[in-house]
Amino acid sequence: MAALATFLVPVLLLCGPDPCPAAAHSQPEVKCVLFNEEYMNCTWGSRETLKANYSLYYWYRNTSNKVECKHYWQDQDIRVGCYFNQNEIIQFQPFHVLLKASMGGSTLEISKRMELQDLVKPDAPVNLTIHNMSNNQLQLTWATTYPKAKCLEHAVKYKSNKDTDWMEISVNGDVFSLPSVDYKKFYTFYVRSKVNKYCGRTQLWSEWSVPVVWGSNSTSKGTVHWLWIHTVLIPIASCLILLVLVILLVRMERVWVILMPRIPNPSKNFDELFITHNGNFQEWAGVPKDVVESFKPNYSENICYVSELPPKDSYEPLWESSNPPPSVMPSASPAPGEHSPYKNSYGRV
Amino acid sequence: MERTIIFCMLFFFSSTVLAAASHRAVKYRQILLVIEKLEHAVKDKDVEWLHTPENPVEGCVDTALSCFKNGTLQLQPLNSQVNATFTKAIRVFRKYTIRSPGKQCESSCESYKKKPPKEFLTSFAKLIQKLLKNEYSAQQS
């Protein structure tokens, strides 16, 4: 309890009955940036973090008079920063600021010492230009609005459309050479600047410049063209050619005959056979009459029926039977004196 | 004939001035590089502090430079490993010739506060950066 009281008393004494300007929030810190050595902005917070009334005083080492900021940045009636024009800026002399925060009856003072030459942020490079050199070499040049160009170092960031990551290279002059480039690729370049170690000890890089591009974007253009050719041109051309062919087929029999030859119909060649000569081949073929006559038989033949006799066990000689064999059925019995070529083989197996 | 001689004299004079200016810038850059190396090689503790000029006014820059030059000769190396680097650096300062200081400067070296070696070198670098920036500014204009 005694320890708690010991802790609370100084806090209450400091803040008093009124709210403490910085008790509820962390102490604001003054941050200054010298933009291109043209003007400077010092800020100490934002509307969300600041609750008190703020006043900024500044002086340089060799002067004893504190000067109040002439141009405050305001955010809804709260002072959040101070603007210094070029006449109020002196580099290479210790720059002191005193921020007074007052709320109610209490005042908080925050002081800071800075070296302005270490707080310079140059503007981004401008007029990026690419030159085509010999041996597939590219040269990138740029200009700067910073008053002392020799005090700057630069960084170039580039990649092609086929790369995934950016390449970042440090450059001391204002010329960057890319030794070998592929003409089929599409390159993009950015440049930024910083005051080098010969003119200050700043870590503030400028913003990246407006990009400059080089190369053929043929991949994307080619894809679009190819797609257009595939989906529009080729189908339309095919349809047109097909249409022309159809018309040709219909209108030109010579073409039709070539593509769709007639099924041969040899019946025409035989019209004379079937119509004129009534199917008489010999007459149509022009066979002589005596040859036709020679093929006609000059004898007559009786039909002789032959059948198989039953097996031997059940065989009965036919001669001993008075009945004629039942299987024999001559349609005409030959005359005794007439020669029959089949007589000897009659009834015998 | 006289006009030709005058033009030639002007031409050679401006060439000399330009060469001198660019030579000065080169020298300043060399000094800054040496200071950068020395900052990591110099003994900072248990050594005598050095008179460190701060923000010398116009007319006292050369006096401040000669104070810095004399002060560097009193620096000591951090250890035996950095002896070679240290010796090379000090040789550069020894060869650095400063214009004889103007009589109108009332501040002497002893009038400046003494500071540890690393702070001494930081202030030296700051002065050289200022002079170099002025040099570039003059070249640009």
pLDDT score of A180: 85
What's the domain count of chain A?
3
Residues A129, A193 share a domain? yes
Residues A202, A137 share a domain? yes
Beta bridge partners of A71: A83
> CB distance A148–B129 less than 8 Å?
no
CA nearest neighbour of A52 among A87, A15, A86, A89 = A15
Instruction: Report yes or no on A271 lying in a domain.
Output: no
- Determine the Cα–Cα distance for residues B41 and B25; give it in Å rounded to an integer: 25
Q: What is the domain extent for residue A229?
A: 220-259
Q: How large is the C-alpha radius of gyration of chain A? A: 61
Residues A139, A110 share a domain? no
Contacts of A259-264 with CB under 8 Å at 24 or more apart are none
- Determine the Cα–Cα distance for residues A38 and A51; give it in Å rounded to an integer: 31
Instruction: Report yes or no on A295 lying in a domain.
Output: no
Residues A101, A159 share a domain? no
> CB distance A198–B140 less than 8 Å?
no
Q: What is the pLDDT of residues B103-127, one digit of tens each?
A: 568 788 899 999 999 999 999 999 9
Length of chain B: 141
Residues A104, A50 share a domain? yes
Contact B69, B96 (CB under 8 A): yes
pLDDT score of A322: 47
Q: Select from A214, A242, A277 the last residue of a domain.
A: A214
First to last CA, chain B: 32
pLDDT score of A349: 42
**Residues of B at the A interface (Cβ-Cβ below 8 Å)?**
25, 28-29, 32, 36, 54-55, 57, 125-127, 129-130, 132-133, 136-137, 139-140
pLDDT score of A153: 96
- Report chain A residues whose CB lies below 8 A from the CB of B32: 197-198
Instruction: Report yes or no on A344 lying in a domain.
Output: no
Beta bridge partners of A115: A94
Determine which of B126, B131, B137 to mutate to test the interface with A (most A C-beta atoms within 10 Å).
Answer: B126
> CB distance A117–B132 less than 8 Å?
no
- Is the domain B22-140 a CATH 1.20.1250.70 member? yes
Provide the shortest C-alpha distance from residue B133 to chain A (in Å). Answer: 6
Instruction: Report yes or no on A57 lying in a domain.
Output: yes
Segments of chain A scoring below 70 in pLDDT: 1-26, 62-63, 218-227, 230, 313-349
Residues A139, A107 share a domain? no
Where does B40-116 have alpha helices with state H? 61-72, 83-95
Contact status of A56 with chain B (Cβ, < 8 Å): no
Instruction: Report yes or no on A58 lying in a domain.
Output: yes
- Determine the Cα–Cα distance for residues A194 and A173; give it in Å rounded to an integer: 12
Q: Select from A259, A284, A319 the last residue of a domain.
A: A259
Domain ranges for chain B, please list them: 22-140
Which of A93, A198, A201 shows the shortest C-beta gap to B29? A198
pLDDT score of A299: 82
H or E element that contains A164: none
Instruction: Report yes or no on A348 lying in a domain.
Output: no
Q: Select from A65, A91, A120 the last residue of a domain.
A: A120
- Report chain B residues whose CB lies below 8 A from the CB of A201: 125
Segments of chain B scoring below 50 in pLDDT: none
Three-class DSSP category at A144: coil
Instruction: Report yes or no on A137 lying in a domain.
Output: yes
pTM score of the predicted model:
0.64
First to last CA, chain A: 152
Instruction: Report yes or no on A169 lying in a domain.
Output: yes
pLDDT score of B139: 80
